[in-house]
């Protein structure tokens, strides 16, 4: 199937919010409209877009789910999910429709076809369709097939567009991802499929491109000659909350690493694209993923550490272990922590260790990429004067306080000659105070509406990411696969420290230091 770039709306700008172009008229069909994702993320994002004047007057929503609601009950639920929605949003909500039915029943799609035709006639949606699959993954292919069978799908042309937004997880392994692609491509062209990852909507993730390719001071040193190691950390204080049943089927690798981490890693390490065209950027991301060494299952054991949180303490509060969580098996072998040592086999990154980790019930909520530079060839200063000097590090903070920090050495004021590490800090909140920034879903939904696929994941990206992680899944399926417990509130199992220490390195553990960092997550000697 074709992977050509979807057509872009006339006059669309790719600048930072709040400058977003007005979307064309369209009917958005949300499958899973009664679900948690719709209420927490999709509807609030649409409400913000409406009140910023981004949604066309010819926009409407048709909800589809198994829950037996009427149109009015659906509108009530929408209103409850978007209490801050303004007049523009409330006016649109008045015409939203709802279909209660099974995702494989003909009546459901007969009603949908009728509602879509009515939306074209009455609401002015002009035949434009966005199908949003916010359901459980097992019905993605089922819905796509039913849409095609009942005449709800057609090719994009100059007069109309039809697109489908697919939530993660996209498959459970390489085999299932390929099978899902076949089902989706039987109904939609590749250019019509928008695989969403909300991390790609975060400002810092997008700013990686600007940081690397618009600044002469960074691009020349963004390689193996100057960078000693790269670390990606996705840490959460929260546990699985009420998602124990889901997490038992996923684990940290499927939930975070295969999608979020691989996308962030690809943007951070890829070569410069030839233009900002969506497919030129995605081409380079795929090339980077193809350069990541794929281990055998035996090698995967040596290059990974799996962990699971046990009882502990966070902020003085007692925390139960994962196996005591709701809907979790008492002998569960699901990982809530994962550390990997990766290798990129290309000219730019050969020999540079890439460390990746993610975990729940860690001491802080923080997502960051840290690039540590090589030491100077010869340090003039003895240990006494430079004991607090750490390697120069560039930190891309993705959450919670989006920004960029550069750590370097400076002399401490005073008569004695003493050097320690300090940080130059850039914060989005401070630098762009007053600017209305779109959240991840708001930005990505807008891009799907205007046909900009830059921040969405292409089929070959998904499959290559699964090729990278599949050996780990295979290794862990064997009896006796290692799983190391770590107390809630710690930075993970001790074996993860050894994974890094083998190369003479250590994890960069962010901590909160109110006096030195103004409350931001940063690193100081432990």
Q: What gap in Å lies between CA 24 and CA 71, rounded to an integer? A: 24
Q: What gap in Å lies between CA 167 and CA 180, rounded to an integer? A: 13
* Among 105, 150, 198, 260, the one annotated catalytic: 260
Which residue from 223, 489, 255, 522 is spatially nearest to 344, judged by alpha carbons? Answer: 223
- Give the contacts of 182 (CB within 8 A, at least 6 positions apart): none
Residue pair 290/271 in contact by the 8 Å Cβ criterion: no
User: Is 260 labeled as catalytic in the residue annotation?
Assistant: yes
Strand runs labelled E in 41-96: 59-65
Q: How far is CA 102 from CA 76, 151, 171, 340, 393, in A?
A: 22, 18, 22, 41, 53
Residue 230, H or E segment: strand 227-235
Q: How far is CA 87 from CA 38, 84, 363, in A?
A: 21, 10, 42
How many Å from the N-terminal Cα to the C-terminal Cα in the chain? 53
Q: Is the peptide bond before 480 cis (omega within 30 degrees of 0)?
A: no
Question: What single DSSP character describes residue 221?
Answer: G
Sign of CA dihedral 385, 387, 392, 396: negative
Catalytic residue IDs = 260
């Amino acid at each position: 199937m074709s992977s050509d770039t979807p057509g872009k709306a006339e006059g669309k700008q790719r600048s930072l919010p709040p400058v977003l172009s007005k979307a064309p008229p369209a009917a958005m069909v949300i499958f899973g409209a009664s679900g948690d994702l719709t209420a927490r993320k999709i509807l609030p994002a649409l409400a913000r877009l409406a009140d910023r004047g981004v949604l066309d007057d010819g926009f409407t929503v048709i909800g589809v789910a198994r829950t037996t609601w009427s149109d009015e009950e659906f509108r009530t639920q929408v209103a409850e999910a978007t209490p801050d929605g303004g007049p523009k949003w409330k006016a649109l909500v008045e015409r939203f429709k709802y279909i209660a039915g099974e995702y494989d029943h003909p009546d459901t799609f007969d009603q949908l076809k009728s509602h879509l035709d009515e939306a074209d006639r009455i609401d002015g949606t002009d035949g434009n369709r966005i199908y949003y699959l916010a359901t459980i993954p097992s019905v993605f292919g089922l819905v796509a097939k039913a849409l095609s069978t009942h005449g709800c799908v057609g090719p994009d042309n100059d007069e109309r567009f039809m697109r489908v937004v697919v939530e993660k997880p996209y498959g459970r392994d390489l085999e299932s991802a390929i099978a899902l692609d076949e089902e989706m491509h039987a109904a939609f062209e590749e250019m019509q499929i928008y695989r969403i990852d909300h991390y790609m909507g975060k400002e810092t993730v997008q700013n990686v491109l600007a940081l690397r390719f618009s600044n002469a001071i960074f691009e020349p040193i963004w390689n193996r000659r100057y960078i000693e190691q790269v670390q990606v950390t996705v840490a959460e204080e929260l546990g699985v909350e009420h998602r124990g049943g889901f997490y038992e089927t996923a684990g940290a690798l499927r939930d975070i690493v295969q999608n979020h981490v691989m996308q962030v890693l690809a943007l951070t390490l890829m070569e410069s694209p030839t233009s900002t065209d969506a497919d030129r950027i995605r081409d380079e991301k795929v090339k980077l993923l193809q350069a990541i060494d794929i281990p055998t299952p035996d090698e995967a054991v040596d290059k990974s550490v799996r962990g699971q949180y046990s009882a502990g303490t966070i902020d003085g509060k007692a925390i139960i272990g994962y196996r005591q969580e709701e809907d979790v098996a008492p002998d569960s072998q699901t990982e809530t922590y994962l550390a990997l040592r990766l290798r990129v086999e290309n000219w730019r990154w050969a020999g540079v260790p890439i460390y990746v980790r993610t975990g729940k019930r860690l001491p802080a909520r923080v997502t960051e990429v840290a690039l540590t530079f090589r030491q100077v060839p010869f340090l003039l200063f003895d240990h006494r004067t430079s004991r607090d000097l750490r390697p120069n590090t560039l930190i891309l903070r993705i959450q919670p306080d989006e920004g960029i920090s550069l750590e370097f050495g400076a002399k401490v004021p005073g008569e004695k000659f003493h050097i320690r590490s300090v940080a130059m800090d850039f914060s989005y909140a401070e630098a762009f105070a007053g600017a209305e920034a779109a959240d991840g879903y708001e930005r990505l939904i807008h891009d799907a509406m205007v046909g900009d696929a830059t921040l969405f994941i292409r089929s070959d990206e998904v499959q290559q990411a699964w090729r990278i992680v599949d050996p780990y899944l295979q290794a862990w399926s064997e009896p006796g696969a290692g799983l190391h417990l770590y107390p809630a509130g710690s930075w993970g199992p001790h074996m993860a420290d050894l994974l890094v220490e083998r190369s003479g390195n250590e994890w960069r553990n962010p901590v909160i230091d109110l006096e030195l960092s103004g409350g931001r997550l940063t690193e100081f000697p432990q």
